[in-house]
Structure 1
Amino acid sequence: MTPVSRDPREPREPDHRRLICHIIFKLDYGGLENGVVNLINWMPTERYRHAILCLSHATDFKERIRRPAVPIIEIGKQTGKDPAAYARVYRALRQLRPWLVHTRNLPAIDMLVPARLAGVRRLVHSEHGLDAVELEGRHQRYNRLRRLSRLLVGHYITMSADLKQWLNAEVGIPPRDLSVVYNGVDIERFAPGARPRHLLPSGFAPDDALVIGTIGRLEPVKDQVTLAQALVGLLQAHPELSRRVRLLVVGDGALRAPMQAVLAAAGFQDHAWLPGFRDDIPDLYRCMDLFVLPSRREGISNTLLEAMASGLPVVATRVGGNPELVLEGVTGDLVPAADPAALARSLHGNLTDPTRLAAHGRAGRDRAVAVFSQAAMIGGYTRVYDALA
């Protein structure tokens, strides 16, 4: 068990604010982790302070936490069964003595037991989205674990109304114990601005390029391979677009090689740039003309919100919480998941209609500002925490 501290100075006086300990699998690049960091950075500090307990480990993503003295503890849980990890979680919580423990997603839900044994009486669990092994949310063993959690959890939070309905219908969580708290987006950091096309590799894109972009973990549930297939289909059907259209894929993971293979097989490998994870995300959004989210399942996508706040038109799959964000025909398009042909048709319709691109981008920015603000997200979490006081 390894403690990680961003600020080694200890407060000289006892801190009587209530401590909330967020238990997550790991602190790495991802939507769930981004939401935790945003909550810690944005929540007023008068009543609550925070700690993060990582079942696996913390990466340099922890540097995005701007609040001082936020304890980050790495449990170092081994892959597969690791009974000793429960004891390490118990000892960490006995040391921290949090007022409330907030577990997030299935990998953390069984840590509710050591939390209760450690004397924590207020327990909250969040569902942020389903992964590739349970796209439909009907995995019997996983849902049995969620049902058992009702013996301990005081309240559940979901990132979308779609997830709330699923927890009620499939798992049996009563509506009174469920709240929807949408992710919030920093509308000042993610905002329209001048295009820093100098960030793109030299010779990659002409001055009049149309850049399709996506950001996220390259994993099967995100399905960026379908985006690569759609790009190939678009350029093969409309070769006149080949000179201008480029693909920017920010992130890394298991789908990097399959994406590159799809593009290379069609001879379009030079039309895509895959720079891996980056810290200049707001500027990279401004390099794009159209944002695409090809996921097979989503809760509420942070990257979709960030793209909308950046003034980008969007194309997303009609899954999970995406229809709660995207107003079809107003802020962007919704297409079926895992359908490269449908995605290619949407790309063509957008890229050949500058008026449509501009109108959807403006409407998306307005919607992000009006509905998905930081204040709304912080207010939602605070109401749940306050109600458990």
Structure 2
Amino acid sequence: MTDPAAAYPADRAQRPAPGSDAGAPLVVHVVDRLGVGGMENGLVNIINGTDPARVRHAVVCLRAAGAFQARLTRCDVPVIVLGKKDGKDPAAYLRLWRLLRRLRPDVVHTRNLPAVDMVVPGRLCGATVVVHGEHGRDAVEEDGANRRYNRLRRTVSPLVDGYVAVSRDIQRWMTGTVGLPAAKVRHICNGVDSRRFRPRSDSGAAERGPLPAPAGFAGPDQVVFGTVGRMQTVKDQVTLARAFCRAVEAMPDGRRRLRLALIGDGPLLEECRAVLAEAGLADLAWTPGARNDVPALLQGLDVFVLPSRTEGICNTILEAMGSGLPVLATDVGGNPELVTPGETGLLVPPSDPDALAGAMVRYAGDAALCRRQGAAGRAQVLERFALDVMVESYLRTYEALLAARRRPRRGGRSAVSAAGEAGTP
């Protein structure tokens, strides 16, 4: 295949040379792909929200680009596909090193398990700073206790100047279970665009809009529960489908009152459809697959549900809160950092359809509770989870780590400690 380093970037000759003094510092983000997901959503938001006079960006996708590439609004941000093969591909390290040598980044920022070993070419390419971020764990290490993966993280740790954890739960796992130096690990919570994700009314609580579902799917007398996301094992939408069936059975008028929207695509979609069909409730559910109109879809729900088995910091929870929805989520990962039980939503144990069904019945019988919690969630987003706060936290972290690496260290302080002293939020 063509070496991506050789192909980059003849059409960008007018831009300042990457890493040169003529332009702002260049941050090269190394990810597995730019598919649909919370990590990818956060990365796109950081890039789109950055002043290019302050920090420039480039994205290297190890295996493929993906749908979220189209969400980048900055035309000066290259997205380069390395073409890494599935499984072992030793040549990918050399290709990435060559590419980074050509890009001359100031900062290399790798993300999640698929890119953790890429800190090696990131360090060897001559970048001033190497950062690694953990945004959550997938099915291959759901409990975070995989010895081989955690040993890999510890092995490359001396090459990393700073770590970013998106939740306090992830931060505790990185410093505790994995055993990374606490002084290197910084917590930066995700943020949400509260102008894009907002209620239809000015009350702060959701006023349900129309869903592009079949005619008659949900009228004013129905309560629409819904979720949005990749339909994969860790997201566990099958438990939500089962809980919906039990909630319908538990309410005398459940078939008339309750509706379910399962929005997203993936391996669990057909299993969810089968669960609903077996219960004779397929006509009460809308399963459209992947959609690109999420803000409007959230405005078409009454209650947002997240049945995940594990989470970092869920962007979709923040988007639902920004849309004025109460959030019914599992008590895992970073979810308790976002959802205040009884105030902005409810938390239930993971993989427990009975507990989930009971909470759904409670919401279905209390419209005032939905409005009150939805308005409180919107207020929380405006106060604590603004998008510009997240972007500023990342930019200050990059700037402070660069400054710490470029000046003599005193008393063996880590670069992340120096970053904290420099005023990173």
Give the TM interval when normalised to the shorter protein.
over 0.9
Task: Give per-residue Cα distances to partners, 1:208-229, cap 9 Å, x unaligned.
Answer: 2211110110000000000001
Shift of 1:10: 4.6
Shift of 1:133: 2.1
Partner of 1:72: 79
Answer whether contact 2:4 2:99 (CA < 8 A) is retained: no
Task: Give per-residue Cα distances to partners, 1:122-158, cap 9 Å, x unaligned.
Answer: 1000000111222221110000011112110000000
Partner of 1:20: 27
Task: Give per-residue Cα distances to partners, 1:221-279, cap 9 Å, x unaligned.
Answer: 00000000100111122241211311111111111111111111111111111112211
Answer whether contact 2:16 2:23 (CA < 8 A) is retained: no
**Of the candidates 262, 280, 283, which is equivalent to residue 270 of structure 1?**
283
1:313 aligns with 2:316: no
Change (3 A) 1:198 1:298: closer
1:11 aligns with 2:24: no
Change (3 A) 1:13 1:51: closer
Partner of 1:367: 380
Partner of 1:219: 232
For residue 164 of structure 1, what is the amino acid of its counterpart?
Q
Shift of 1:196: 3.4
| Worse-matched range after superposition: 78-87 or 342-351 | 78-87
Task: Report the 3-state secondary structure (helix = DSSP H, G, I; strand = E; otherwise coil) of the residue aligned with 1:246.
Answer: strand
1:120 aligns with 2:133: no
Task: Report the 3-state secondary structure (helix = DSSP H, G, I; strand = E; otherwise coil) of the residue aligned with 1:110.
Answer: helix
Partner of 2:213: 200
Shift of 1:117: 2.1
Task: Report the 3-state secondary structure (helix = DSSP H, G, I; strand = E; otherwise coil) of the residue aligned with 1:58.
Answer: coil
Structure 2 CA distance, aligned partners of 1:109 and 1:223? 26
Structure 1 CA distance, aligned partners of 2:9 and 2:290? 21
Answer whether contact 1:7 1:68 (CA < 8 A) is retained: no
Answer whether contact 2:322 2:378 (CA < 8 A) is retained: yes
| Worse-matched range after superposition: 218-227 or 203-212 | 203-212
Task: Give per-residue Cα distances to partners, 1:54-83, cap 9 Å, x unaligned.
Answer: 011112321111112101111121111111
In structure 1, the gaps of 5 or more residues are none
Structure 2 CA distance, aligned partners of 1:196 and 1:283? 8
1:86 aligns with 2:93: yes
Structure 1 CA distance, aligned partners of 2:4 and 2:401? 30
Structure 2 CA distance, aligned partners of 1:83 and 1:203? 55
**Of the candidates 184, 190, 202, which is equivalent to residue 177 of structure 1?**
184
Change (3 A) 1:5 1:324: farther
Answer whether contact 2:4 2:95 (CA < 8 A) is retained: no
TM-score (norm: length of structure 2): 0.88
In structure 2, the gaps of 5 or more residues are 202-207, 403-425
Runs of 4+ in 1 over 6 A off after TM superposition: 3-7
1:45 aligns with 2:58: no
Change (3 A) 1:279 1:10: farther
Equivalenced residues, count: 389
Partner of 2:343: 330
Partner of 1:351: 364
Shift of 1:379: 2.2
| Worse-matched range after superposition: 375-384 or 345-354 | 375-384
Answer whether contact 1:6 1:68 (CA < 8 A) is retained: no
Task: Report the 3-state secondary structure (helix = DSSP H, G, I; strand = E; otherwise coil) of the residue aligned with 1:324.
Answer: helix
Identical-pair percentage:
49
Task: Give per-residue Cα distances to partners, 1:295-353, cap 9 Å, x unaligned.
Answer: 00000000000000000001000000000000010000000000000000000001110
| Worse-matched range after superposition: 29-38 or 62-71 | 62-71
Change (3 A) 1:5 1:276: farther
Shift of 1:105: 0.3
1:101 aligns with 2:108: yes
Answer whether contact 1:7 1:69 (CA < 8 A) is retained: no
Answer whether contact 2:211 2:297 (CA < 8 A) is retained: no
For residue 145 of structure 2, what is the amino acid of its counterpart?
R
Answer whether contact 2:62 2:81 (CA < 8 A) is retained: yes
Answer whether contact 1:26 1:56 (CA < 8 A) is retained: yes
**Of the candidates 153, 161, 174, which is equivalent to residue 168 of structure 2?**
161
For residue 69 of structure 1, what is the amino acid of its counterpart?
D
Change (3 A) 1:369 1:76: same
